[in-house]
Structure 1
């Protein structure tokens, strides 16, 4: 059963004539008659009583008419939904991101997206890089922002940021007025580690600098990291993105050596279609990153 056959059937029912229906549909009457014979054969029942002056519906035809109309209406509604999503007039976009991205990069991007595409619903999930990847792979999230690596067999990736790490210290700290620091100078300090892959990068850098860091605390919450640093409980080695909009009580200091850098990548499922909404968001993220350079 084809949707166009339902349309033909309803037009004949409205016109009560194959001839008038064919004229209205701009098709040959024999072709219309053949389509209805095919439909009746598939349904296993006659739909029309073909009179000399008027065509009427059989009992089966009368029972079928409201259902055919409902099916066509549902198909049209489905077309509208797809069109709305394609034209960013509706739909929903789920974003998964690591905390530094969700706190420091996405707020302005989401605000701009909301102004441009107000009818698209947005949901933001804040996770570790591993959980971001899981959310995208499972289909819970449409697009993710994380610190690589990820499986190249599973994901499409696009690097959007390459950033250094910096040292966060309280302004009252001895290094609070320093412009740069070598990590080996911090061997006697207490460290507050930012959980996730950023932690692994910082820990490896400390070891390369010749010492095992003394860990005072670990947290996956950026505001908690900042509050603990401000309180003088330790120093934190964090990605530069996490040093944006710092409170006045904290100073970001450049790390001279060893060189520390990470990438942030947008990821989506390999072979998957990146939705129009996700494409629009990705363009805004790229524009925001370029503006921040």
Structure 2
């Protein structure tokens, strides 16, 4: 069993096509098909059901592919660890971030990281804080930038707070509050809201603030990104509460400061286990001294 065979199997599973897998791996299809068939003979099980229209993993394939991915990641980690001994950081950095992160300028940070470590490839995923933490604990992410209510600590990972921001009201340009300098939660409560999905950290910050003030509100639209929330606000479908620094980057809306505004803390989180050389280099770049064990 060779690593290249594992790469071919994973590519076929991801693309559901021998043709697209061959293109992704930069080989001719006949060579890829031959190596997959050779591996199937070696392990004594068919990994894919092939029809004229699609390729679907068999039960054996479904069991094999996750282990193949782990083997490829382990091989890449071993290669990166060996290179790091001689001072060369290589491999892949798997980075996650909430879409509304502002305490770190992520594009310029990645530019500096690339300048310092040109042999590291970076995969960047945006998602909610809970999903990103879960991916760190399962090993599919190295580092993530999160947004959580004040005092809340992500579980199962190491983390550090690196920023804090208060929310502002986001309203349409012709909204009754658009010309105000400041407002408060009591004034905002009667309006329909656009907010994040119930139960998520992004929603929890605002829910807790209204509950603490003894106020009720109606969330008319639930969304998964701040950008979409702003677009709905611009269409006069409701108002939103978003972190001030992030809201300042949005077009087509107005922002109003809130006297009793909810707040959020931005965290950087990473695995409890030894970071890869690429992850350790990224954490060092943002000023974190991480234990290796």
TM-score, L = length of structure 1: 0.62
1: CA distance between counterparts of 2:134 and 2:113?
Answer: 25
Tell me, yes or no, if the aligned pair for 1:104 and 1:242 is still in contact at 8 Å. no
Number of the residue aligned with 1:162: 164
1:183-232, Cα deviation, whole Å (9 max, x unpaired) = 11012211000332121111222233333211121111222111111111
Number of the residue aligned with 1:193: 195
4+ runs of 1 displaced by more than 6 Å? 77-80
- Structure 2 residues not aligned, in runs of 5+: 1-75, 289-293
Q: 1:221 aligns with which of 221, 225, 237?
A: 225
2: CA distance between counterparts of 1:122 and 1:131?
Answer: 19
For the structure 1 residues 286 and 263, does the alpha-carbon distance in structure 2 shift closer, same or farther, using more than 3 Å as the test? farther
Number of the residue aligned with 1:273: 274
Worse-superposed segment, 169-178 or 128-137? 169-178
Tell me, yes or no, if the aligned pair for 2:80 and 2:277 is still in contact at 8 Å. no
Tell me, yes or no, if the aligned pair for 1:164 and 1:261 is still in contact at 8 Å. yes
Tell me, yes or no, if the aligned pair for 1:168 and 1:251 is still in contact at 8 Å. yes
2: CA distance between counterparts of 1:228 and 1:116?
Answer: 41
For the structure 1 residues 80 and 215, does the alpha-carbon distance in structure 2 shift closer, same or farther, using more than 3 Å as the test? closer
2: CA distance between counterparts of 1:120 and 1:252?
Answer: 39
State the secondary structure of the residue aligned to 1:274: coil
State the secondary structure of the residue aligned to 2:254: strand
Q: CA deviation at 1:285?
A: 4.7
Greater gyration radius: 1
For the structure 1 residues 79 and 147, does the alpha-carbon distance in structure 2 shift closer, same or farther, using more than 3 Å as the test? closer
2: CA distance between counterparts of 1:125 and 1:286?
Answer: 22
TM-score, L = length of structure 2: 0.62
Q: How does 1:171-250 map to 2 (within 5 A)?
A: 171-195=173-197, 196-247=200-251, 249-250=252-253
Q: 2:254 aligns with which of 251, 258, 267?
A: 251
2: CA distance between counterparts of 1:203 and 1:78?
Answer: 42
Number of the residue aligned with 1:126: 126
Q: CA deviation at 1:181?
A: 1.0
2: CA distance between counterparts of 1:202 and 1:135?
Answer: 25
Query: Does residue 107 of the first structure (1) align with residue 107 of the second (2)?
Result: yes
State the secondary structure of the residue aligned to 1:113: helix
Worse-superposed segment, 84-93 or 261-270? 84-93
Q: CA deviation at 1:286?
A: 6.1
1:146-168, Cα deviation, whole Å (9 max, x unpaired) = 2343455x321111111111111
For the structure 1 residues 229 and 286, does the alpha-carbon distance in structure 2 shift closer, same or farther, using more than 3 Å as the test? farther
